[in-house]
Structure 1
Amino acid sequence: MGFLSSIGRARLKKAHSIEDLRAAARRTLPRMVFDYADGGAQSESTMRQNRAAFERHRLLSRAPVDVSGRSMATTLFGKPLAMPLIIGPTGYASAFWPRGDLALAGGAAKAGIPFVVSNGANSPLPDIARAAEGKAWLQVYIAHDKQVTLDLIRDAKALGFDTLEVTVDTALPGRRVRDIRNGFTVPYSWTAGKVLDVLRHPDWMLRALPHGAPRPGLMPMEQGRSWATVSEFVRSQINPAIGWDDLKWLRDRWDGTLIVKGLLDPAQVKPAVEAGYDGIVISNHGGRQLDGAVSTLDLLPEFAAAAQGRIALLLDSGVRTGTDIVKAVALGASAVQVGRATLYGLSVAGQAGVDHALGIFRTELDMAMALVGLRSLEEASPDIIRIRQD
C-alpha cells in the first residue's frame, strides 16, 4: 500500500489551505462519503451563513507592535493548549480513512490540543484513548435509556477521560438532502451507480476494502437492521425529550469538566451556569441541523455579554482559517472547534493529513497574530474587529 501513501503525500504538497484540502478530499472520496462530511441541512443556507459571518468580520491591524516574542499558547479548563483549537466530534470518521478516529486523536495529541471523541466513533474507546495520549474528551448524547449513557461515561472515566461534551441540538437529526440523494446508509448499501463511483476512486477503495464498512463503536446497533441514512440511525439513538433537568442529572453523575454543545440562544447561558456546567459550545452543528439558523460568530458577542466570564465559551461552525480563530477569540471565545477541516485532511492522507490541516491553522494563526499586532491571544479584544456593512 506504499503507493497509496505516495498519492496522499503528493496531494498534501499541493494543499496550502483548508479549501485546498477540501478539493483534494473531493477528488479522493466517493461522492456519498465526501458529501456526508461536506453537506448541510436542506438548502445549506446555515452552512453558507457561517462562512459569510467570518467574512463580514474584518481585522484591524495595530501595527507597529513588537511581536517578535508572540505565543499562541493558551489555557483551557486549567490545562495548557498549544493553540486555541480543538478537533471537535465528527462521527463515522472511519468512512474517510480506516480507523479514522485514531488518526484524528493522534494528530491532536501531536499538536498539543484536545480531540473530542464522537458518540458516533467507529473505533473502540480504549484504542482512541491511547492514541490521544490523555488529550481526548468524550462527546455524548443522553440516550433513551440513560443507563446506556451512564455505562459509556463510566468506561470513559476508567480510561482517564476528564471532560465530557454533551450535545443538545439534535432533538431530531437535520434533513441532509445530499445523504438522501446519495443513499448514504448505515451500513452501506450498494447500487450499480455507487459501485461505479467507488471504482473511480481506487485509492479510497483499496484502503477501505480490507476493513469493510465502518460500524458505530460506541452506540448500540441492532444486528441485521439498516437505516436509510446516517441521520436516521442517529434518530434511533437520541432521546428528543431532553431538557435542563436531564443536563443537571448528567452534572450530578460526572465529576469532571462538563460542556454543553449546541446552544444558539444567549439566554441559555444562565441555566448552563446554574446547572454547574464549565463550558458552552456555541454551535449550529456546522449547518447540519436547522436550515436558516443564525451564524455562531454573529451570536458570540451576545453570549460573551451574558456569560461575563462565568463560563468558558467555545465556538464551532464555519472555522476554516487561522484568522477565523483570531476573530472568534477577539469576540469572546476561549477556543474554537473544527470538524470538516480535519476530516478533509484525514481523507487525503490519514494522520499525515490531519497533521497538515492543523499545521495550516497553526501557520495562519501565527501570521494573523503578527500582522494584527498580538503578542498573545489574551490581547485580542473586540477593538480589533470591524463588521463590514453589506
Structure 2
Amino acid sequence: MKFQANAHSIAEYRELARRALPRMIFDFYDGGADGENTLAGNRAALDAKRLLGSAPIDVGRRSQEVKLFGKSYAMPLIIGPTGLAAAAWPDGDIALARAAGRAGIPFVMSTAGTCTQDDVASAGDGSKWMQLYIFKDRAFSARIVDKAETLGFEAIEVTVDNAVAGKRLRDERNGFSLPFRWTPAKLAGLLVHPGWSMRMARAGAPQLKVMGEGLGLEKTDTIAALMQSQFDASISWDDIARLRDRWKKPLIVKGLLDPSHVSKALSVGVDGLVISNHGGRQLDGAVASIDVLPDFVAAAGGRLTLLIDSGFRTGSDIARALALGADAVQVGRATLYALAVGGEETVFHALGLLKAELDVAQALMGVARIEDFHPGMIRQPAPVPLAPRPDAGASPTPVSYLRKGT
C-alpha cells in the first residue's frame, strides 16, 4: 500500500502519536523529569533565537550535505538514541535505522534498544552508531563496545548525564513498568487504541534486548527504577579514557552542559560531543542546550565535532543550532512520534519534512551551503522590562515607561 502523508509537521505527528498510543506509552516518550521545566525551557530557548532573513543573495543552488567524522551525509541531522522504540511500533529500532539510511543520515542505536545489535547492524545500508551506558558491570559495557566493532558500527556515543535517573512523574502516575502491568483501567484504554493493541499482540511485548543479553533484569516499578538499578554514579573521565583506549573509531560523549568539560574531553582524545540536557528527562530546571552551545563552540575552537539535541522539532530549529556553531542536530522524540503513526514510512516522511523546512530556512536566510551559517544570523530580543509590583513598596509604573523601547 502506498504511504499517504497525513501529517505536515512534527507537531502534527506528535498529536497523531498521542491518539495512536496508550497514555502510559505516549507519556513515557513525551514526558520530562519532575515539573518538566527543562522540557518547557528547551522550547522557550529555541523560540527566543530569532533568525535573520537575508536577501537578495543567490541561493538558486542549495546543498545540505555535511561531513561528520570524515564521512558525508545528506543533511545535518541524526536520529539519536531512544529507548524502548518497539513500544511505539514493532521492531522500532530497525524501522528507525532503515528510515535514516534511506534519508542518508546516521542512526544511533540505544543500549536500551528493543532489537539486538545484530538486527540493527543488518537493517539497511545506512550508517549506524552505538549509544553506550557505562554500567556498574563494566565488563558488560565493554562487550557492547566489542560487539559494535565486530558488527561494523561506525561510532560510539557514550551517555554520561545519568549518575542517577531523573524522576519521571508521568511514568510513576501511569504505573509504567517493564514488563507492562495491565490494570483494569489500562486494559479498558486499549479498546480505544485497537491498532496499537493488535500490533503488540502479534509482535509481543517489547523487551530491552541489548541489556537483557548481559544483565539480570528484574521486574521494577518504573523504567527509571530499572535503569537506576544498573547505572553507576562513580562514572568519570577515567572511564571515558579507558573507552578511548578500547574503541579506535569516532568516540562521542553525550550529555554535556558545562563547557568547562571541553578541555577534559580534548585531553582524553574524544572526537565529538553532544550538548544535551537529555531532552529534559534528567535534571529539571537545567539550562537549554541551545543556550550553552556558543560557549562550547568557543571552548572547542574547531577541535571537536559538536552535535546538539533536546527539543528540536522543526527545520528552523536546526537552522538555529547550525548558525550558532553546531555541526549537526540529533532528534529523538520527533522520529518516535512519527514511528508510532506508521513505522518506517512515516519516519522517512518526517525526516523529509525536516529537510524541506531546513531548505526553506536556508533559502530565506541566504544560506546556499550548510557551512555558510554563522552566528550573525541569530538575534535574541532583549527582555521587556517588568514594572515594579505595587505590593513591593513602589508606585505603579506609568504606562508610558512600559511602552518605551518596544
TM range, normalised to the smaller chain? Answer: over 0.9
Checking the alignment, whether the CA contact within 8 Å between 1:284 and 1:317 is kept in structure 2 is yes
Q: CA RMSD in A?
A: 1.3
Q: Distance in 2 between matches of 1:225 and 1:382?
A: 49
Aligned to 2:88: 96
Secondary structure of 1:75's partner?
strand
Letter in 2 for 1:320: R
On the 8 A contact 1:304/1:313 being kept in 2, the answer is yes
Compute the displacement of 1:389 (Å): 2.6
1:376 shift after superposition:
0.4
Q: In structure 2, give the amino acid aligned to 1:141.
A: Y
Q: Which amino acid aligns with 1:318?
A: G
C-alpha deviation, 1:377, in angstroms: 1.1
**Structure 1 unaligned regions, length at least 5:** none
Whose Rg is larger?
2
Q: Where in structure 2 are the equivalents of 1:112-261 lying within 5 Å? A: 112-220=104-212, 225-261=218-254
Cα distance in structure 1, aligned partners of 2:276 and 2:218: 31
- Which residue is 1:109 aligned to? 101
Q: Which amino acid aligns with 2:274?
A: V
Which residue of 1 is the match for residue 387 of structure 2?
none
- Provide the C-alpha distance between the structure 2 equivalents of 1:237 and 1:145, rounded to a whole number of angstroms: 8
Aligned identity (percent) is 52
Amino acid at match of 1:135: S
Select which of 326, 331, 343 maps to 1:338.
331
Structure 2 CA distance for aligned equivalents of residues 186 and 367 of structure 1: 42
Other structure's SS at 2:67 match = strand
What TM-score results when the alignment is normalised by the length of structure 2? 0.92
1:94-135 Cα shifts (integer Å, max 9, x gaps): 000000000000000000000000000011111101114240
Aligned length: 382
Aligned to 2:393: none
1:131 & 1:271 partners in 2: Cα distance? 35
Q: Is the 8 A contact 1:134 1:160 kept in 2?
A: no
User: Which structure 2 segments of 5+ residues have no match?
Assistant: 384-406
Q: Deviations over 1:221-266 (max 9, x none)?
A: 7668311111111112221110111110111111110000000000
Letter in 2 for 1:244: W
Aligned-pair CA distance for 1:146: 1.1
The runs of at least 4 consecutive aligned structure 1 residues that moved more than 2 Å come to 220-225
Taking the TM superposition and a 5 Å limit, the aligned residue runs for 1:23-38 are 23-38=15-30
SS at match of 2:62: coil
Q: TM-score, normalised by structure 1?
A: 0.96
Deviation at 1:162, TM superposition (A): 2.2
SS in 2 for 1:66: coil
1:147 to 1:224, Cα distance in 2 relative to 1, 3 A: closer
Q: Provide the C-alpha distance between the structure 1 equivalents of 2:43 and 2:382, rounded to a whole number of angstroms.
A: 15
Instruction: Name the CA distance, whole Å, in 2 between partners of 1:161 and 1:373.
Output: 36
**Residue number in structure 2 paired with 1:360:** 353
Shift of 1:383: 0.7
* 8 Å contact from structure 2 (residues 253, 272) kept in 1: yes
Structure 2 partner of 1:56 = 48
Aligned residue runs from structure 1 range 7-86, under 5 A: 12-13=5-6, 15-86=7-78
- 1:11-63: CA deviations, max 9, x gaps? x42x1110000000001000000000000001000010101111000110121
Residue by residue, what CA displacement relative to the aligned partner does 1:189-234 show, whole Å, maximum 9, x if unpaired? 1101111111110011011111221111111376683111111111
- SS of the residue corresponding to residue 237 of structure 1 reads coil
| Pairing partner for 2:285 from 280, 283, 292 | 292
- Counterpart of 1:308 in structure 2 is 301
> Is the 2:100–2:126 contact (alpha carbons within 8 Å) kept by the matching residues of 1?
no
The one-letter code sitting in structure 1 at the alignment partner of 2:227 is V
The whole-number CA distance in structure 2 between the counterparts of 1:174 and 1:126 is 30
**Could you tell me how far apart the structure 1 residues matched to 2:236 and 2:41 are?**
28
Aligned partners of 1:282 and 1:52: how far apart in 2?
Answer: 17
**Is the Cα–Cα contact under 8 Å of residues 102 and 126 in structure 2 kept in the other structure?**
no
Alpha-carbon spacing, 1:364–1:91, altered in 2? closer, same or farther (3 Å): same
Maintained 8 Å contact 2:94/2:115: yes
Distance in 2 between residues matched to 1:198 and 1:125, nearest whole Å = 31
Structure 1 pair 304/223, CA: closer, same or farther in 2 (3 Å)? closer
Shift of 1:370: 0.4
CA distance in 1, matches of 2:235, 2:122: 32
**Offset at residue 150 of structure 1 (A):** 1.2
Taking the aligned partners of 2:126 and 2:99, their CA distance within structure 1 comes to 13
> Whole-Å Cα distance in 1 between the matches of residues 219 and 198 of structure 2?
24
The correspondence for 1:327, drawn from 313, 320, 328, is: 320
